[in-house]
Structure 1
Amino acid sequence: MAAPEEEEVSINRTSSSPSCDTFSSNRNSVTLGTKHSSILSSSFADMEQRISLLALKNAEEDDVGDSFAERAEFYYNKRPQLLALLQELYTAYTTLSDRYIQTVAKHHKRQSSVTSTLDSFDGAEDSGISQIESDAESSLSYQQVSVTSTKNYGMVDNDAFIAELVIKNVEYDILTNEVTTLEKQCCDSSRKISLQKSLLDVLESERLILLNENARLGYKVESLMEENKGLVAESVFMKQKAGEMARCMLKLRDDHRVYLLNQKIEDLQGQIYGLEKRNKEYYDQLVKTDKAMVESRCKDSNGKEVTLEACFQIGKLKSKRNVGVVEKTSNSGKKTYKWWAKVKSMDMFLCGHSTNPT
């Protein structure tokens, strides 16, 4: 590179120059350079502190849990700091570019001023030579003084210019170092931004997955609601069927009660018929026994003659028995009729109809 060669040439020239003015100018330029370097070092220290904080946070990032929610929350909390650092880097980069442009412009201006001074110096030499040629008598003494003065002036200007070039080269190196550090920081920030973008892409994909899952669950809920409506309608239908079955059971119970009552009535009728038959048999037997007794009384000793009184007594007895039998039969008919009326009016099932189908 040309910068270190120029630095070596400037150092050799400054060491070989014996003038004190050159040393003072070099010292002033070095003090100005140290002032600029102190400002730059303070800015470097601030930037290094911020980068160290980010490095510590990156080290803490490894201790974050493996779950996606924890990492997302960590990056979400870290995002404002990254944006602030990017903004600061952008402003620093713009200021550095402005400084670089200004220094380049100043360098060109100074080069133009140096060339103008050299041209004026050449013109002064030409005028001195012409003056020496015109005035031959005093040329030797004046030429020696003018030549020594111009030589000293040219050496002073060259030393100052070389010192200024050295300072500018140092500033250029400092600025290049700042630019490289800022580029590294920009690369790191761009890498982090890419990571943030990838994280946002992952979050967006998860959001889409959750939206699809939500839609699927919504469709499932709708299907379940429709199924519930169908079950409600089926339950209403089953309740109607249960009511119909309960009414059928009540009807069957009433029919069963009627059937039982009919059976009881038939049994009672059979008992009445048996009692009437037995009563008739008893009556026939009684008539036979009475007839045999009357006949035995009406007979004489031979059993062939019958008195009139005995015949009349037999007639009376028959009439009395016939009256008693008629009264008994009428009384028994009345009793059976009253008994049958009581059976009809009697409630065999005092509990009544059951409204509960179960």
Structure 2
Amino acid sequence: MDPERQAYWWWFDSHNTPKYSPWLRSTLAELDEKTKGMLKLIEEDADSFAQRAEMYYKKRPELISMVEDFYRAYRSLAERYDQHRMDPINRVKSPLRHSMPEFKAEFGLTSINSFGSFTEEAYGSSEESAESEVDDPEEDHDVVVVEDDDEIENQFMAATSCDELIKLREELEQLQQENEVHRNLIKQKEEAEKLKTEMESLMLENMNLMEQTKKKDEEKTEMGRKLGEVKSELTKMGEEIKQREKEAEKLKNEMESLMLENMNLMKQMKKKDEEKTEMGRKLEEVKSELNKMGEEMKAQNTYIQDILAGKDEEKREVIRQLSFGMEMLRQENQLLKKSIMKSAPKKHSSSEFRIFKRVGLGNLFGLSPKCPTSVVPL
């Protein structure tokens, strides 16, 4: 069975009654449309409680309008039902009051049997139906009909035809069906009232939720503003990070070049250290040689100084001898000059003096007269 049909069996089962009057068909068709619209409106669902509350709040005027239409239709059906409940009795009683006695024997047995079966079927089925406020008028009608059963049977014996009985039976069946519809309408009205109460509570909850939603929207707006600021800061930080990465890459390249340069410098320094070590070794050798040479030169210097000291002594001795010889020569020269001046003529004085000087000096210093004399300066 279809789930929708199973849920609303009371509505679908009411469509199975045949032979409606044109007015009842139009009324029931209108009720079916309204019932279908209300069920569709009630069955609409949403993802959250707040959305459902908002949906009911928006649909509230439409629900109120439908409840009003149901009330008007129910009132119209109740009034029509009351008219139909009274009309068959009037139609039955009025002809029977003016009927002739000769018809009683002709139609008596058939009328009683058919009406008896009619009353058993019609009113027996009404007792099996659910109890409601709409059933009360029909039950009253049943009591009236049962109380007047003898009178009706006597009247039908005279003037009622089978067609009228069948028509009356059909009308009663229609009234039963209308009674069922009225019960359903009452249930729908109760459900509508219940929905109205629920909708009012939902409206209050919806208002609270709307206030909370408004606060949440304000918080969301504030959060969005803060999020925008954070995004802006993150963007700036991202740009700074990119700039730092570029600088880091640049520094990395510089470091690599510096490391290569450092390695080259270290190699050069190592080479220089080796050269320095070699030069230090050679310098030590040179220093050792210089020390040796210095010692030798010191020894030679001491020897030379000793020699020079001896030479100085010899020179001083020679000078003393020369000084002494010069003094003697001056004295002799003076003596010779005096003697020559006295004994020899003047023309031979200069040549004789030169010869005497050369012979005297040579004898004085132990030199040969032929060798030229030289004086070494001190």
The TM-score with structure 1 as length reference comes to: 0.34
Structure showing greater radius of gyration is: 2
The TM-score with structure 2 as length reference comes to: 0.33
Which protein, 1 or 2, shows the higher relative CO under an 8 Å CA cutoff with sep ≥ 6?
1
